[in-house]
Chains A and B, each alone.
Chain A
């Protein structure tokens, strides 16, 4: 019973947050909806014993990425009317098409299983905990090569960003 409550509250918050992201008119409200979704996902991770993933989710997405989003939104300003023009050609058509396919798949599955859903899984005793030791052990032994490549990629991206920003600054000073 306890697990069900612990699942229902964050999962409904995820959906509400996602709806806010889509339907809210104000960019700051959209961003806060996304924060709500990300934090609720972190809570779901905790209930699944993946504490390390949950904390990284909070730290990186909710803590750093979304703060930068808000920072940018506030820097640009939110007073302008939101652009409702389609930026991709046939955007509405594509999105509603995908949505229709999704809904019809769901309806098909529901009808073909004759509404006999087995949503109540038996309680499973967790033997594996998502501890940092476990993740580090795998990451720094079997996955060390991809890990290093990703770190090089990130450094290249950071250096490129700095180089680009520095270049424009110098040109302005010359002019």
Chain B
């Protein structure tokens, strides 16, 4: 066994552990937050501050009976929860968690990248894998052999295709700005502070970090809206609209298979926020206080920064869920096709013109 293989296996296991613990934390975070916004207490019985409530729920779901509906298409019904989980774990593998570091082990120095895999097509990989996730919803809806899940599945396929286009188009200006499709390079390109040719503007702007969100605020808005729609969260949760479709695509699922859908939804939410932080908020970049703090602390500082940024975005996700009412289906489609996609196209052209002028000068000069 080569060392590379061992490192890869360790990385995969760490990713699994991080994502699962994180989901427990995230569900508690959301329930507490929504409860606070609605003047309730929220979970507070299991464990300190109710932190272990999710563990208790998971154990309950594990022990429950798993029902196979009579009219269900057996193979597809069993396959759908698996297809839901796999892409959510795969996306996490391309998110850079921190800078490279070296370890000295048995007289050899290994450089370890704090990312599952640094792909030279990382952005495309993210889009491709997240488009695979549609199948789980569509198949779950269809294979249940019941009308409400089917409606949820049809809605999901239309919704996810429309918002994927806007999402991909919003990422193109980012790729142009950083000049790379690799997520590691995109983070590195956001290091430093903004600068300007005009001296007065430069003195104001030089305090602001060179994150993509500042020059690309429109792309950030489009991407964030599309991200909320892509993970089927409120106000875009028509896929599982309780008032109309009972539970949507997972109505007929019970026990651990339902838990798998639930887990996939929260991992996707976390991934989407971490990806947004990577593209627009500088990823793991931030002050590491190298001389003030002990070295081990400054080593994990980048991970803490990424975590803080991700949870700030997750707070907005939950905030939106607690405040905004659900969109109607035609409004959802209109927002996707008639607003977001044209807006992202116009923004793409504008940013390419700006970049072109910056690179080659004005055409008449």
A interface residues, Cβ below 8 angstroms from B? 26, 28-29, 32, 35, 39, 51-52, 55-56, 58-59, 62-64, 67-68, 70-71, 74-75, 129, 131-132
Contact = CB atoms under 8 A, between A and B. Distances in A.
Contacts of A71: 138, 154, 157-158, 161
A63 B128 contact: yes
Contact of A67 (B73, B128, B135): B135
A58 B128 contact: yes
Contacts of B128: 55, 58-59, 62-63
Nearest to A71: B157
Contacts of A55: 121, 124-125, 127-128
Contact of B139 (A32, A58, A59): A32
Judged by DSSP, the binding face of A is: helix
Given A52-B124, A58-B131, A67 B75 contact: no
Given A32-B79, A67-B131, 6 more contacts: A28-B142, A56-B124, A58-B132, A63-B132, A63-B134, A74-B154
Nearest to B157: A71
Nearest to A72: B157
Nearest to B153: A74
B157 A59 contact: no
B62 to A, nearest CB: 28
B81 to A, nearest CB: 15
A59 B127 contact: yes
Contacts of B160: 67
B323 interface: no
Given A26-B73, A52-B121, A131-B120, A67 B134 contact: yes
Contacts, number: 77
A26 B134 CA distance: 20
B142 A132 contact: no
A63 B164 contact: yes
A68 B129 contact: no
B232 to A, nearest CB: 15
B124 A74 contact: no
A68 B161 contact: yes
A58 B87 CA distance: 12
Interface in B273-315: none
B342 to A, nearest CB: 14
Contacts of B150: 74
A129 B157 CA distance: 34
Given A52-B124, A56-B124, A64 B158 contact: no
A39 B153 CA distance: 22
A111 to B, nearest CB: 40
B318 interface: no
5 contacts: A28-B142, A39-B132, A67-B157, A74-B154, A74-B157
Contacts of B79: 32
Contacts of B132: 39, 58, 62-63
B76 interface: yes
Contact of B73 (A28, A51, A52, A74): A28
Contacts of B75: 29
